[in-house]
Chains A and B, each alone.
Chain A
Amino acid sequence: MSDADLIALTAAEAAHQISIGALSPQELFSAYRARAAADELNCFTWVAPANESAPAGSESGGGRGSIGAAAEAGLELRDTPLAGVPLAVKDLFCTEGVPSQSGSRILEGYEPPYTATAVARLQSAGASLLGKTNQDEFAMGSSNENSAYGPVLNPWDRTRVPGGSSGGSAAAVAAGLAPWALGTDTGGSIRQPAALCGIVGMKPTYGAVSRYGMIAFASSLDQAGPLTRDVTDAALLLRHMVGRDPCDATSLQLPAEIELPNAELLDGIRIGVPAELTGGPGEGGGGDSEGGGIEAGVLEAFRAALTQAEGLGAQIVQDVCLPHAPHALSAYYVLAPAEASSNLARFDGVRYGLRSVDPTHPQDLLDMYERTRHDGFGAEVKRRIMLGTYALSAGYYEAYYGRAQRVRTKIAEDFARAFARVDFIVTPTAPSVAFGLGEKTGDPLQMYLNDYCTVPMSLAGIPAISIPCGLHEGLPVGLQLAGPAFSENELLDAAYVLELALAFDGSPARV
């Protein structure tokens, strides 16, 4: 097979070819490794070194779980479910002996002594670590412009952002630099970049995937999930990541195994379209929708996709309401920064990462903390730490954090009520197509509005998937399907059917 043929295979197709002996995992890995090493989009902060046939324990680096280590461990890759197919992993997943920096200067060069459960499970299933992907610092951002390691470029148009915070993962998959990738989603950080890059991205039910080893942003919201070329690949990756983990007390066992989707129609499926999350410019009530409306071109592609869904037998229900959805963004931008302010307190120059020293005069412990955190954190991270600290401080806790937690309850109730009437909720994933680099960095609030459609699902802890549904002015538009907690299989089935019908065949020009 030529390299072009190799790259064209989906992960599932490649795994199958390897399992029948038609393709060697080493050959596939080499092809992707070369592409990743030559990346011009700045997708990667680390790529597996070329000498992967070196046995583990030599000084070749590359970390455990690289293809060499898997072979050394006696894993006959072709007999494993993931067959050695290379996987790109977002920087914030701890990977033993391999830099894990969460896109921040404060963790530059940090090599963890252990591997995150999600990654370890995938490696046990046969995945091989291709590289670590660039991201917004500490997963805070919607454009990958907050990375301490430079922005990621959207392969569809290099003057535009790939979305964030899993921008590197999304761009790598879209550009054919990796067959699939792991990302994380706190307020939309898998789904939104998937939409802006024209690929599939899924956030599972909160708790479905262990957070052990994920450098934390907001613990009640963070979830790992797949970024892939199609829904089948997303199901395959998710299948081997999920499950209760004794190291994460918030993790749970899904009621059923994740299956590869095979539905053919949407007969009998009721899909709700909430007015609050599908308004156009100027539509919608107060709260966050002021000036935050959805681009006309995005709505057009979205509505065309709904028509397709109807053609497949789905019943579109237009009067579904999520009355508190307009307040979801506000609640999120209290809760997430508050949790972040607590989670990021550990970065203080003591045990790992950057320690700032002032050579001009002696410093005490407080100086060291304050200077290290000043030097090591970027502007957005500082902003959110400050916001979170303020919201949790004496005198303000009840007015901000306490209220936001109650808004969260109402949002969860809104969804529960909606799911009594419909099987899924559908919205555009993001309010716009990929925007220009630097276009929204001047106003944090403008940037936050990118999460408008994705944040409610994060707050409610329900699973949601974004699939490409069309193009607007040559740039991809994503459609988001959300279901009740634990509805992963049903969601994947519905997304699979829609994906087939939509036949989105766009791809950015291959490098």
Chain B
Amino acid sequence: MRAVIDRDQVLHVARLARLKLTEEEIEPLAAELSAILDHVAHIGELDLDGVEPTSHVVDIAGALRPDEPRECLPREVALAQAPAVSPTGEGFSVPSPQA
């Protein structure tokens, strides 16, 4: 599993991650990620046929609560740390998807 991540892949992944990269950042990042991916690719050497994946190490049952409405965060508290609040004070203000 040879992994070399090139410029185009870096830009593609950055777009998926909603991360802007400057021109100077792209090449070093590509090199670092390639080195890391190359290293972690060692797990490709193992025989893992028939092995179940683990997403949760310790089994828990009955973690759900009754489906009953409860008080939630008051609006003004939720908006208190907002970078921008809508003029009506009802929500978070953000730029349009198409400025």
By a beta-carbon cutoff of 8 Å, the part of chain A in contact with chain B is 110-111, 113, 205-207, 220, 246, 249-250, 252, 286-288, 324, 327, 330-331, 333-334, 341, 345, 348-355, 362-371, 373-374, 377, 382-383, 385-387, 389-390, 393, 399-400, 402-410, 412, 444-445, 448, 459-461, 485
How many angstroms between the C-alpha atoms of A369 and B32 in the bound complex? 24
B13 & A393 in contact (Cβ 8 Å cutoff): yes
Using CB atoms, name the residue of chain B closest to A458: B57
By a beta-carbon cutoff of 8 Å, the part of chain B in contact with chain A is 1, 5, 9-10, 13-14, 16-22, 29, 32-33, 35-37, 39-46, 48, 51-58, 60, 63-65, 73, 77-78, 80-84, 92, 94-99
- Of the candidates B35, B46, B82, the one whose C-beta lies within 8 Å of that of A445 is B35
A444 & B13 in contact (Cβ 8 Å cutoff): no
B40 & A333 in contact (Cβ 8 Å cutoff): yes
B44 & A403 in contact (Cβ 8 Å cutoff): yes
A206 & B57 in contact (Cβ 8 Å cutoff): yes
Shortest CB–CB separation between residue A340 and chain B, in angstroms?
Answer: 11
How many angstroms between the C-alpha atoms of A204 and B54 in the bound complex? 19
- Of the candidates A110, A252, A345, A408, the one whose C-beta lies within 8 Å of that of B53 is A408
Chain A interface SS verdict (over half) = helix
- Of the candidates A288, A355, A389, A444, the one whose C-beta lies within 8 Å of that of B17 is A389
B98 & A364 in contact (Cβ 8 Å cutoff): yes
How many angstroms between the C-alpha atoms of A374 and B24 in the bound complex? 13
Using CB atoms, name the residue of chain A closest to B60: A252
How many angstroms between the C-alpha atoms of A123 and B76 in the bound complex? 26
Q: Which residues of A contact B60 (CB under 8 A)?
A: 207, 249-250, 252
- Of the candidates A252, A351, A371, A410, the one whose C-beta lies within 8 Å of that of B81 is A351
How many angstroms between the C-alpha atoms of A286 and B43 in the bound complex? 11
> In the complex, given contacts A330-B40, A444-B35, A460-B57, what are 14 additional A-B residue pairs having Cβ atoms less than 8 angstroms apart?
A220-B56, A250-B60, A341-B17, A349-B83, A355-B84, A364-B96, A365-B94, A367-B99, A369-B18, A405-B54, A407-B48, A410-B46, A485-B57, A485-B58
